[in-house]
Amino acid sequence: MTETARRDPEAVSKFVEGFAAQLVEAGMQRMPARVFAALLSSDSGSLTSAELGDLLQVSPAAVSGAVRYLAQQHMVAREREPGSRRERYRVHSNQWYEALTSREAVIKRWEHALREGVDSLGEATPAGRRLAETLAFFEFLDGEIAMMMDRWRAHRDRVFGGGVES
């Protein structure tokens, strides 16, 4: 074939907005969600600030804020294009859902709050026991998630072949 099917900008946009909407529903802020969806649906897996602004019809300021948030969450990486002051933002498709599932920081903070609750309400009280059980659940989760991700990587390599990049 002389030409692979050209990307239909409208189809892409439809996916971007649809997927972003689901992320928003799950608690993510709108702009980070849109930026993230845009990156996910790009062929190279990375876009510049200008491209994002253009694609999503938003100001550079909005892109900047969204990217800062996503980078903090380890959902995108920033990389400097050598020989230019342009920056690219990239989803490492492996990495992002690892960030999503581990959420270490979140779980740790929950555990901390629960531990304080157990202490201040007393281990012997019904409420204290309930909190302790909840805490035990998150501690259990912590360990399980790590093992699960190991299994996922194995499964992934089997299905997608070890070699896929980005």
Site mask for DNA (CB under 7 A), range 13-42, x = bound: ----------------xxx-----------
How many separate helices (H) and strands (E) can be counted in the chain?
7, 3
Provide the 8-state DSSP code for 6: P
End-to-end CA distance of the chain: 26
In three-state secondary structure terms, 22 is: helix
Strands 77-80 and 87-90, by their bridges, are antiparallel
Site mask for DNA (CB under 7 A), range 42-71, x = bound: ------xxx------xxxxxxxxxxxx---
- Indicate which single residue of 59, 150, 156, 157 sits in contact with a copy of itself (rule: CB under 8 A): 156
Q: What's the alpha-carbon Rg for the chain, to the nearest Å?
A: 20
Minimum distance, C-beta of residue 101 to DNA, in the bound complex (Å): 23
Q: Which amino acid is at 40?
A: L
Tell me how far CA of residue 129 lies from CA of 5, 32, 126, in angstroms: 60, 38, 5
Q: Which of these ranges, 55-63, 69-77, 82-90, 104-112, lies near a copy of itself under the rule CB under 8 A?
A: 104-112
Query: Does residue 95 interact with a copy of itself by CB under 8 A?
Result: no
> Which chain residues interact with a copy of itself by CB under 8 A?
4-5, 7-8, 11-12, 14-15, 18-19, 22, 25-28, 40-45, 91, 93, 97, 101, 106, 109-110, 113-114, 116-117, 120-122, 124-127, 129-131, 133-134, 136-137, 140-141, 144, 148, 151-152, 155-156, 159-160, 164, 166
